[in-house]
Amino acid sequence: MALKTWKNMVKFPHLASLALLALLAVAIHLTRNKGNAAVRLENQVLLKEESGKNDSAPACNLFSGRWVYDNVSYPLYKERQCSFMEYDFACEISGRQDLKYQNWRWQPHLCDLPRFNGTALLEKIRGKKVVFVGDSLNRNQWRSMLCLIESYLPPSSKKSVKLTGNLYSFHSTEYNATIGFYWAPMLVESNCDDAVTHRVRPRIVRIKSIETHGRHWIDADILVFDSFTWWMDQTMTILWGSFESPDAIYKKVEMKLRRYEIALSTWSDWLEMHINRTKTKLFFTSLSPYPLGNTVWSTDDSCHNKTEPILDERYWASAANRSMMRIVESTIEKLSERGVKVEYLNITQLSGYREDAHPSIFRTFWGTLTNEEVKNNVDRYADCMHWCLPGVPDVWNQILYAYIMKS
């Protein structure tokens, strides 16, 4: 067939000319698009391997996938063997009997999630400082990171965390590397900024002030931000001026989206003015979804006794506020236009599938509450916001690890 076609082209030379012109056009098109190749799939742009060498994004969309049960490879560490474990996230120690939530692996559709290698990560951050900045969900992720790397640390390592002001930090002397968490639930300044005592009402926010916090992370090599949950109050007091000033103006406002937008604008302006763009790698973790309700965590108790993930990939968690997500995405896009690159870790949907992986009542509680009181009042005390460890935040860190290792 091919020989017959070639004979026809020789017989009719104009056909050969047309074929050569077509091949030349295809070659030019491929050459022009080689360095910018992308595939659009379900409204997601997936970068191919041809992406520029300096692009720190992994080669496929790590956020689109499904949960697969895997009790051979997971969990990546044992809860009781993690020296850095925080009892707020220690569900097994706190009495949870069903531990299947520890054995689910996130499987992206078009590739495999890189296996976490703590030695490789510690070498990558040797002599550097990594800081997670935000609320207790970011602290959840930070604790997960410490548990993930612990087994890769030399046996002689001091496995302790130091608290200085708002900054919790672990320092590995062997690698001269620091992995810290800075408590700033609103990112900007507020009356909820005490790292230990912050359950304050009403919430008062200095929506245009961030410097008090920012000076503590300005020297970091990698910054991982989050802020969402603490903005969900229907009303909030905005402070113009300082807490100490008698002339300060206090204004009670609703406008949830607008106040969030102003705060992120303050954050982005600070980054543009102060961050060393050639040194510091920036990340922002999207909202971690939870069901809204009337427990002490402002969630409902629907996660209690859940033992399986949601496997319907169309599912979207009720509190995953798309409008607030768009504000973050728009802020990051505008920063990029101003020359400041922030990687957006969109963990919202993958986390929303995991209603089985919240602590519910299997965590520590403050004050004089007894276990019996908690069990008899699940509708008040179930924590459907944070995550058991090992669990979902480990996957967030595996994705973060993929970005760091590629950068």
Catalytic residues: 136, 383, 386
Beta bridge partner(s), residue 360: 383
**Paired tokens of 262:** 């102003």
Cα–Cα dist 37/46, whole Å = 9
Distance, C-alpha 310 to centroid of its chain: 20
Cα–Cα dist 171/179, whole Å = 6
Any idea which residue has 């807490």 for tokens? 243
**Paired tokens of 180:** 């810290």
> For residue 160, how many other CB atoms are within 10 A of its CB?
10
Q: For residue 222, which of 87, 90, 130 has the smallest C-alpha distance?
A: 130
Query: Is the separation of the CB atoms in 361 and 381 below 8 Å?
Result: yes
Q: Give the strand pairing for 177-183 and 129-134.
A: parallel
Q: Give the strand pairing for 177-183 and 38-41.
A: unpaired
Instruction: Please give the span between the terminal C-alpha atoms of the chain, in angstroms, as a whole number.
Output: 50
